[in-house]
Structure formats: structure tokens, C-alpha cells
Homo-oligomer: A and B are copies of this chain.
Amino acid sequence: MDMDRIVSRLRAFTSERDWDQFHDPKNLAMLLASEAGELTGLLRWVGNAEADAFVRSPEHRAEVEAEVADVAIALLLFCDRAGIELWRAVEAKIEKNAEKYPAELSRGHARTPRR
């Protein structure tokens, strides 16, 4: 199952329900924000030190995966509607981040280096 096949399924799903009318980029950005909020909600009371175990625990795994999937679906719907090639956009961003955060100036801290 790769991304193109997933996107095809999402298109069929949306079209069968006549939901394209709701899926403009503004509404899909809100969908994405609300789904990201739900994933954030799952982890809000979990400490940093327990977070890895939490997301892998049998008790919470299914819920975490479902929220992650909701975020991904919102992101794919947005890209499909806006005509964005996701991996190309990601690759371009990684290049920019590599310039913004040179390895030798960024090691072990998350501040933007001043040069």
C-alpha cells in the first residue's frame, strides 16, 4: 500500500459521500489542526520519560495509531486538493533545514544558530 493508492481510496471515499464541497483548503487546515490537537491530547498528561512506553503500550497503541492516521488523512486530503506533491515539498524543506541548522552549530540543542 503506497501513498498513491491511499490517495485514490481517499478520493473515492470523499466522492461517494459528496464531501468535496467541504474539502476546501481552509476547512482541511482546520481538520488537520483538530486532529493534531487530538494526538496532542493523548499525550498531554504523559511525561517525557514515559512517552515512548505510552505510545507502544497495548493499552494505548490503537488510539495513538488512529490519531496519527487521522492527521495523515487530513494532510493527504489537503495536498490532493491543493495539488501539492508531498515528498517533493518535504525534500525541499529538509534542504532548507540543513542550511538553517548546520550540523556543527546545532549539535545537542534546538536553537537556531546565529552566524
**A residues in contact (CB < 8 Å) with B:** 1-3, 6, 9-10, 13, 16-19, 21-22, 24-27, 29-49, 51-52, 54-56, 64-66, 68-73, 75-76, 78-79, 81-84, 86-94, 96-98, 101, 103, 106-108, 110
Partner of A31, one of B13, B44, B75: B44
In the complex, are the beta carbons of A25 and B13 less than 8 A apart? no
In the complex, are the beta carbons of A83 and B56 less than 8 A apart? yes
Interface of A is mostly: helix
This chain's copy number in the assembly? 4
CA distance A3 to B2 in the complex (A): 9
CA distance A10 to B41 in the complex (A): 20
In the complex, are the beta carbons of A1 and B41 less than 8 A apart? no
Nearest residue in B to A102 (C-beta to C-beta)? B17
The 6 lowest CB-CB distance pairs between A and B, nearest first, are A37-B37, A34-B41, A69-B93, A36-B36, A30-B44, A26-B51
Contacts of A1 on B, CB cut-off 8 Å?
Answer: 87-88, 91
In the complex, are the beta carbons of B37 and A107 less than 8 A apart? no
In the complex, are the beta carbons of A65 and B89 less than 8 A apart? yes
